[in-house]
Amino acid sequence: MQLSPPQPVSTSHFCVIGDVTIHPHAKIASGVILQAAPQSKIVIASGACIGIGAVIQAFEGTITVDSNAVLGAGVLVLGQVTIGMNACIGDCTTIINTDIVAQQVIPEGSLMGDSSRSTLDESPNGSPLNDALPSNPVNPDWPSPSPIPSPAPVSSPQRQSPVIGRAYVTQMLQVLFARNSSP
Amino acid sequence: MIPASKLKRKRRPDSALGLLSTPSFPAIVGTADAMLKAAEVTLVGYEKIGSGLCTVIVRGNIADVRLAVEEGSRLAEKLGQTVSKLVIARPMPNLEAVFPIGSHLVEIAQQQRGYSRLSNQSIGLLETRGFPAMVGAADAMLKSANVQLSAYETIGAGLCTAMVRGSVANVAVAIEAGMFEAERIGELNSVMVIPRVLDDLEAMLPVASCWIEKPLPLLFSNRVKEKEKELVPLENLEQLSRTIEQEPDT
């Protein structure tokens, strides 16, 4: 999918509003908006790269961009987000209130952490618990290297203690019916 | 029908005592199964002391009992249970008089019971916290595979266990269906599948009375008496005279 690069607000410098800490070795492109609401802050670590036209808006929390992370052009980061070290966020991606694991690669045009809409072109998941996980990339074909942890609480109630003997019975079922994935 | 001679167990003198306790009924049946298959011990029974704690009691030689208790506790730890276990090499007779640990209890229990129509099939156990969850799960189990619901057991602390019998594939599928249903309705606590049930374990499992066949005594209204034959004295054969007719030679 070819996305045209966004037109930046300014061609010469970027905009900083509120409590924003930028390491001297971080690189911010022109036209970037870094806005921290009151009681929130933004921390950009050393070596991080923020692409042209990105908007990072901290709200009720801290946005942390760890060292050597790369945010593509036009990326929108909202709320409380931690982008792990060496992560690579594709162009025009939106990240809302979710953490990005270190060294993760997010394809361009992704939507992370938004549970307000259902994505109909998702590949069906076998386990019923997967429906409760809100963060799923819009692009299902891209092989995501690791599952994205969501700080939002899972809707289905979790048991405090595991069911005794479930692993035993599940293993027996795998042997009996030659399944690869446990139910 | 099992012949009466097979039902009576040959009684060895009780020597060592082994006890293993877990807080769940399917787990205790699974550990009892592991113990019986690990060494030659006699399963005396289960002791439920309330609040969900069950203890399995075995007797036998000290080496067998040690092996069995070790194997049972290994399985229980694999299931994630902290157990309390005990091995006494030679318990005092006073203990046996008071606690239910003697192997004579095995014979007594068997005499009272009779023969179950569901014996020698694989068994699946599903334990929930709450009665509706167990009933719903039992219904789901019966509708999902060719199994029979043999009994249910309550051990306290709200824990109740449903037991289904059938072939091992049917039981496994039924338990899987029951697990989902129980989690949907209430709280699932424990599951277990035992593919092959030994005779000792079979005798100690609870069975609902509808499955038990007791041999009925044959009913006769009166004892049939044979009529005594009257004895007639024979003639004195020596006194008889007999003429021998000579046959003409031809």
Domains and CATH numbers, chain A: 15-114+129-154 (2.160.10.10)
| Region at B153 (left for phi over 0; alpha for psi -120 to 50; beta for the rest) | beta
Distance from CA of B193 to the nearest CA of A (A): 6
Say if residue B19 is in the same domain as residue B35: yes
Phi, psi of A170 (to 5 degrees): -65, -40
Cβ neighbours around B233 below 10 Å, total? 5
Domain C-terminal end among B91, B107, B123: B107
Domain C-terminal end among B75, B107, B139: B107
B169:A176 CB<8 A: yes
- Which residue range(s) make up the domain with B34? 12-107
Say if residue B72 is in the same domain as residue B121: no
The pLDDT of residue A5 is: 66
Q: Tens digit of pLDDT per residue, chain B (250 long)?
A: 555 545 555 555 668 999 999 989 999 999 999 999 999 999 998 888 888 889 999 999 999 999 999 999 999 888 877 679 999 999 888 888 888 888 787 777 777 777 777 778 999 999 999 999 999 999 999 999 999 999 999 998 999 999 999 999 999 999 999 999 999 999 999 999 999 999 888 888 888 888 887 777 777 776 667 777 888 888 777 776 766 766 666 5
The pLDDT of residue B4 is: 52
Say if residue B52 is in the same domain as residue B123: no
Say if residue B54 is in the same domain as residue B134: no
A165:B79 CB<8 A: yes
pTM of the model: 0.55
Number of structural domains (chain B) is 2
- Mention every residue, 6+ apart, whose C-beta is less than 8 A from residue A51: A29, A32, A70, A71, A72, A73, A74, A75, A91
Say if residue B100 is in the same domain as residue B188: no
B208: in domain = yes
Residue with tokens 């479930």: A166
**ipTM confidence:** 0.70
- Mention every residue, 6+ apart, whose C-beta is less than 8 A from residue A29: A8, A14, A49, A50, A51, A52, A53, A54, A73
B246: in domain = no
Chain A within 8 Å of B26 (Cβ-Cβ)? yes
B154: in domain = yes
Say if residue B94 is in the same domain as residue B185: no
Closest residue, chain B, to A162 (C-alpha): B189
Chain A within 8 Å of B157 (Cβ-Cβ)? no
The pLDDT of residue B116 is: 78
Residue with tokens 């990005």: A100
Say if residue B69 is in the same domain as residue B158: no
The pLDDT of residue A119 is: 53
B238: in domain = no
Say if residue B24 is in the same domain as residue B103: yes
Please write the tens of the pLDDT for every residue from A35-93. 888 888 888 888 888 888 889 888 888 888 888 889 888 889 888 888 888 888 888 88
B-chain residues near A164 (CB < 8 A): 24, 26-27, 79-81, 127, 189-191
Say if residue B84 is in the same domain as residue B135: no
Say if residue B88 is in the same domain as residue B150: no
B155: in domain = yes
A183:B191 CB<8 A: no
How do B16-22 and B54-60 pair as beta strands? Answer: antiparallel
Please tell me the distance from the alpha carbon of residue A172 to that of residue B195, in angstroms, as a whole number: 10
A169:B172 CB<8 A: yes
Helices (H), chain A: 166-177
Domain C-terminal end among B90, B107, B124: B107
Write the residue in A159, A164, A173 that is nearest to B24 by C-beta: A164
Say if residue B97 is in the same domain as residue B79: yes
Q: CB–CB of A112/A148 below 8 Å? A: yes
> What CATH number should be reported for the domain holding residue B86?
3.30.70.1710
The pLDDT of residue B122 is: 94
Q: CB–CB of B58/B15 below 8 Å? A: no
Chain A within 8 Å of B31 (Cβ-Cβ)? no
Chain B within 8 Å of A129 (Cβ-Cβ)? no
B20: in domain = yes
Chain A within 8 Å of B191 (Cβ-Cβ)? yes
Say if residue B58 is in the same domain as residue B118: no
| The token pair that represents A152 in the structure block | 């939002």
Distance from CA of A177 to the nearest CA of B (A): 8
A-chain residues near B80 (CB < 8 A): 162, 164
B77: in domain = yes
Angle at B142 between CA A167 and CA B208, to 5 degrees: 95
Determine the average pLDDT of the residues in A5-13. Answer: 67
Q: How does DSSP classify residue B16? A: E
Reduced 3-state DSSP string for B190-244: EEEEECCCCHHHHHHCCCCHHHEECCCCCCCCCCCCCCCCCCCCCCCHHHCCCCC
CA contacts within 13 A on the Cβ side of A164: 28
Please write the tens of the pLDDT for every residue from A103-155. 888 888 888 887 776 555 444 443 444 444 444 444 544 544 444 444 444 43
Closest residue, chain A, to B191 (C-alpha): A165
Q: Which of A169, A171, A173 to mutate to test the interface with B (most CBs of B within 10 A)?
A: A169
Please write the tens of the pLDDT for every residue from B93-137. 888 888 888 878 777 777 777 777 777 899 999 999 999 999 999
Write the residue in B30, B172, B191 that is nearest to A176 by C-beta: B172
Phi, psi of A94 (to 5 degrees): -115, 130
Chain A within 8 Å of B190 (Cβ-Cβ)? yes
Please tell me the distance from the alpha carbon of residue B147 to that of residue A105, in angstroms, as a whole number: 50
Q: Which of A158, A159, A164 to mutate to test the interface with B (most CBs of B within 10 A)?
A: A164
The pLDDT of residue B248 is: 65
The pLDDT of residue B250 is: 55
B64: in domain = yes
